């Protein structure tokens, strides 16, 4: 005899199936329906970059056996009437990939009316709840909400159910060199092991420490102790540098608020020149940054 489902799960699946058949609305105002799998385009705001092949293969087998229990979340996109409705995926990338691999022709979806920011937030929250994002993917998604959509760290934290320091630390992790970010994405380092590397000044030293942590399997606490032990002992220099760093950080935050984009200030030792980095999202955003900077320059020249 087949073991019955729990009452809550049984009711959930039963209700979902009924609503998909009737085209009823869900509690969020979306409409349940069956959609041709070919009508669903990948999500522009999908925060996940890496997909585990073994877990995807397991999900494919499960879908071949049981079908898709939880509907995908999509939004309608413009398409010629003769082609029928077209959709953009918001949440359920793994389920969609596995459904394609399983040979399904149609999949259950919930069609929601969402703008770009809401689409990114929903996709991000779903992946965080499922613990499917690595620290780099999570940081990039948080940064996009901050940089592209103008949300503060407090607002992002409220929307994704995390603390403000968690959001800030996730975004700050992106300041590490790309090879270290690649190590995090591959699972060779976790966020706790990598975060202490931010306090190391030279890129070469950061990479060397990261490789040692990964090779030996040093814990996050051990990584902190290792980095602290290798810091310069000159107290006066350290205090002076900390004060300078605090001033630069305050200046960078002020520029970020004015430009609404990520700004980094790098000050080299001695008389060597430093540099300022301003992130931009795409070519249009680069043009917008240039217009802001050139506008400020022209205004000061007129004054």
Would you call 93 a catalytic residue per the annotation?
yes
From 93, 121, 126, 137, active-site residue: 93
What is the C-alpha separation between 194 and 173, in angstroms, rounded?
8
Distances 48 to 34, 71, 93 between C-alpha atoms, Å: 25, 19, 9
Residue 123's closest CA among 132, 59, 234? Answer: 132
Q: 260's torsion region: left (phi>0), alpha (psi -120 to 50) or beta?
A: left
What's the CA angle centered on 281, arms 128 and 206, to 5 degrees? 70
The total of other beta-carbon atoms located within 10 Å of residue 197's CB is 23
Q: Which residues are catalytic?
A: 93
């Amino acid at each position: 005899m087949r073991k019955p489902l729990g009452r809550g799960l049984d009711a959930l699946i039963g209700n979902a199936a009924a609503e998909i058949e009737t085209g009823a609305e869900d509690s969020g105002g979306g409409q349940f329906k069956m959609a041709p799998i070919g009508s669903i385009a990948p999500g522009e705001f999908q925060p996940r970059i890496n997909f585990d092949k073994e877990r995807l293969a397991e999900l494919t087998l499960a879908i071949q056996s049981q079908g898709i229990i939880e509907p995908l979340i999509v939004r309608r996109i413009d398409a010629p009437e003769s082609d029928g409705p077209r959709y953009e995926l918001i949440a359920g990338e793994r389920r969609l990939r596995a459904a394609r691999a399983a040979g399904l022709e149609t999949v259950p979806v919930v069609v929601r009316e969402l703008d770009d920011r809401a689409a990114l937030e929903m996709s991000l929250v779903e992946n965080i709840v499922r613990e499917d994002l690595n620290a780099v993917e999570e940081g990039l998604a948080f940064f996009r909400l901050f940089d592209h959509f103008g949300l503060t760290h407090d607002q992002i934290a409220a929307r994704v159910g995390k603390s403000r320091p968690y959001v800030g630390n996730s975004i700050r992790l992106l300041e590490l060199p790309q090879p270290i970010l690649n190590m995090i994405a591959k699972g060779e380092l976790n966020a706790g092991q990598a975060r202490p590397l931010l306090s190391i000044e030279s890129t070469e030293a950061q990479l060397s420490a990261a490789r040692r942590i990964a090779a030996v399997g040093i814990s996050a606490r051990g990584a902190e102790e290792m980095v602290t032990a290798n810091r310069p002992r000159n107290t006066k220099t350290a205090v002076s540098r900390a004060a300078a760093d605090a001033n630069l950080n305050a200046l960078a935050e002020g520029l970020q608020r004015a430009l609404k984009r990520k700004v980094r200030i790098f000050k080299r030792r001695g008389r060597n020149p430093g540099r300022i980095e301003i992130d931009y999202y795409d070519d249009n955003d680069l043009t917008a940054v240039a217009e802001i900077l050139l506008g400020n320059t022209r205004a000061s020249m007129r004054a």
